[in-house]
Amino acid sequence: MYPRSDVLDPQGKAIAAALARLGHGSVKDVRAGKVFFLEVDGSDAAAVERDAHRMAEELLANTVIEGFDVRVVSP
């Protein structure tokens, strides 16, 4: 999950400033988010992805200010 692009992200701004100070002038913007690694049972990748979407909407992300992406990685 990550702060939505229309929401101010103070942490991302601070990181962007630090990268600029290190000479990485190509960086235009940084948004700082979180990654959750979930180990789940299930063989149907589409169903697992749907479940993960629900989990993100219900708890893992606050959709007022955050967006999210779900990726299913097979073991």
Partner 1 sequence: MKFAIVVFPGSNCDADCLHIAKDLLGCEADYVWHKETSLKNADAVILPGGFAYGDYLRAGALARFSPVMDSVAEFARAGGPVLGICNGFQVLLEAGLLPGAVRVNKGLRYICHDVFLRVENNETAFTRLYERGGVVKMPIGHGEGNYTASREVLDELSREGRVVFRYCDAQGRITDSANPNGATANIAGVSNREGNIVGLMPHPDRCSEGLLGNDVGRKMFESVVTALASR
The site for partner 1 (CB under 8 A) is made up of 3, 7-11, 14, 59-60, 62, 64-65
Residue 56 has, within 13 A of its CA and on its CB side, a CA count of 21
Which one, 6 or 43, has the nearer CB to partner 1?
Answer: 6
Q: Which is nearer to partner 1, 14 or 47 (CB)?
A: 14
Residue 3 DSSP SS3? strand
The minimum distance between CB 6 and partner 1, in angstroms, equals 9
Nearer to partner 1 by C-beta: 15 or 72? 15
Q: Give just the sign of the alpha carbon dihedral 27, 36, 64, 55.
A: positive
